[in-house]
Amino acid sequence: MTDRPAISPSLSIVIPMYREQDNVAPMLARVHEGLAAYSGPWELICVDDGSQDDTGKRLIAEGEKYGAHVRVIRFARNHGQTTAMQAGIDAARGEVIATLDGDLQNDPADIPRMVEEMYARDLDLLAGYRANRQDAWLSRKLPSKLANKLIGKVTGVQIRDYGCSLKIYRSKVIKEVRLYGEMHRFIPVWAAMVTSPSRIGETAVSHNARQFGESKYGISRTFRVILDLLTVFFFLRFRSRPGHFFGSIGLLFGVLGSIGMTYLAVVKFILGESIGSRPMFLVSVLLLVFSIQFLTTGVLAEMLTRIFYQRQEGPLTITPDLPGGVLGWQHTLEVPVTQSGEVASHSG
């Protein structure tokens, strides 16, 4: 049976922005237009990822026009889209969290429908895919297709459009995921580590051509995806048992080195031949040394893993710039609010 709230759940919309000063005003206007009919309380969290232009200033100015439900987080320098998205997720207070890009290519009007669909299908994550993508084929569509196929094949989590930032999450699930590096592309994969892959779905969303500014990505991101994918593959297979990964390599090197040294021992002590100048002697010794190194690395990795799982990890510390210094919600219905200003839970 689906866990559907009596009214629309509290919603936090997270938008990381980097050098998007011309998109600030239309983006905030589009969000408010798209959420005008949303029946639950919602907030908008915009993260300025250390932009050198006026993105941060315009976010604060526009936020003051709309009210305290628009919250602005500013980084002193650029940390990347993943870190900006993580900061927004950490700051989010809603039962449901939506993420999208700040370039106006995603349509915020899709969000209410996606929230309803996520609850109707009893999902923890609903990812959008751009059915009619308005991007250049060589620089955007081709790298995206290559990356999507590669990621799906390696991870086993089949999503048609990993590159679409428009996604809806249950807060209790996405807050269990820690993002770093450039791992925002792999959110469905990381989410599959804390929830069942069967509770991850996708739906078609609108996609518009970029009107202002220029894309910060291109064909080069395909190579970055490959490097990130190696990390994801390691975590998927060996996150809780890294000793198996390093130990397997160490044992392989140890076996090969032992075979080489056994052969050389026969040559030396039975056949009476010199082995000091033979390349196999040096190779066998190196293989044994590598074996010891990998085995000890595996033991250390196992110890660190145990420590990691035993400690409590807190959220990323952030200092948001809030219009008026007050946390607020935008809503069209009267909903119960606690004395601390938090919206009471609506899940039934």
284-296 per-position pLDDT tens digit: 999 999 999 999 9
Confidence check: pLDDT of 302 > 50: yes
**Shortest CA distance to 234 belongs to which of 182, 201, 189?**
189
Counting residues of the chain whose pLDDT is more than 70, the rounded percentage is: 81
Of 152-161, 249-258, 339-348, where does mean pLDDT reach its minimum?
Answer: 339-348
Looking at residues 249-274, what average pLDDT do you find? 94
Rounded to two decimals, the pTM is 0.74
Confidence check: pLDDT of 323 > 60: no
Return the SS3 of 187.
Answer: helix
CA–CA dist 60, 54 (Å, integer):
10
CATH class of 11-238+320-325: alpha beta
**Mean pLDDT of the chain, nearest integer:** 83
Question: Given this model, what pLDDT does residue 335 score?
Answer: 45
Confidence check: pLDDT of 191 > 50: yes
Alpha helices in 81-141 (DSSP H): 81-91, 110-120
Question: Given this model, what pLDDT does residue 44 score?
Answer: 97
Confidence check: pLDDT of 310 > 80: no
Looking at residues 85-104, what average pLDDT do you find? 94
Question: Given this model, what pLDDT does residue 154 score?
Answer: 75
For residue 294 the two structure tokens come to: 């990998």
Question: Given this model, what pLDDT does residue 87 score?
Answer: 95
Question: Given this model, what pLDDT does residue 104 score?
Answer: 86
Phi, psi of 195 (to 5 degrees): -145, 170
Could you list the beta-strand ranges (E) of the chain: 11-17, 42-48, 70-74, 96-99, 125-130, 167-170, 200-205, 320-321
Question: Given this model, what pLDDT does residue 279 score?
Answer: 92
